[in-house]
Amino acid sequence: MAERVAIILAAGISIRMNTDIPKVLHEICGRPMLSYVLDACREAGVAEIYVVVGYGAEQVRERFGDAEDIIWVHQAEQKGTAHAVLCCKEHLGNFEGETLVLCGDGPLVRAEMLKTLIEKHGAETAVTLATAVLDDPAGYGRIVRDADGNIQGIVEHKDCTTEQLSIKEVNPSYYLFNNKILFEALDKVKPGNVKKEYYLTDVLSIIIAAGHKVVAITAVRPEEAMSVNNRTQLSEISEIMQQRLKIKNAKLKIQEG
């Protein structure tokens, strides 16, 4: 098996998109949003990608059926992000390497950012996550640090205290785990939150409580923290992607000229 793999969470139902199309198949600049996350992983050197599907699973598989580096994992019942990752245990439970965990509805992720995450992940580190600082952090999980700046955990927006809601450093859901430690912690996650779901963010608190090293680096640009939950966000991200493509094409013309 590869030294490093990726898990992409792509099982969600697109309720707020007002369509039956699986969320990760909604298109941005003519391509399904999931394709951008896959490409970022590949460009960062990931050879094996586990894509967790649920709602509309067959449609997603069919759209990416030619990809030889994808291993499909089915999440029959959507019980949260930790549960989605746990569905990969059959494949990765004994894997000794590193595992990237990303969301399929975050198409603005850059390969360069993933490479930074990988470079900053030391041999003794259990988890390295990339964070962003936003002027308006509403809706995002907050990064809670101690007085020395060490990460203490992540609190989802709906579970935040009034004080925690004022925190501007947020979690865009870009993680790199020591895989063995990840799956040991996943077995201990409980649905003790407002939505009664199994949150992947709770894994961080479990790993920290066990005495493992967790590092949070502020490496995500504000626009890269955006994910798609509704058509307005889909439109906003499409505009950002169009600008990226224009800049990319302009650079290629300069190189060719």
- According to DSSP, residue 109 is labeled -
16 catalytic? Reply is yes
- 130 near 40, Cβ under 8 Å? no
Region of 38 on the Ramachandran plot (φ > 0 left; ψ -120 to 50 alpha; else beta): alpha
Query: Torsion over CA of 55, 234, 171 and 122, rounded to 10 degrees?
Result: 80
Determine which one of 16, 31, 142, 244 is catalytic: 16
What is the residue-wise DSSP string for 156-193?
A: -GGG--TTGGG--EEEEEEEEEEHHHHHHHHTT----S
Q: What are phi and psi of 34, to 5 degrees?
A: -60, -30
Query: Torsion over CA of 41, 47, 48 and 53, rounded to 10 degrees?
Result: 30
The catalytic residues are: 16
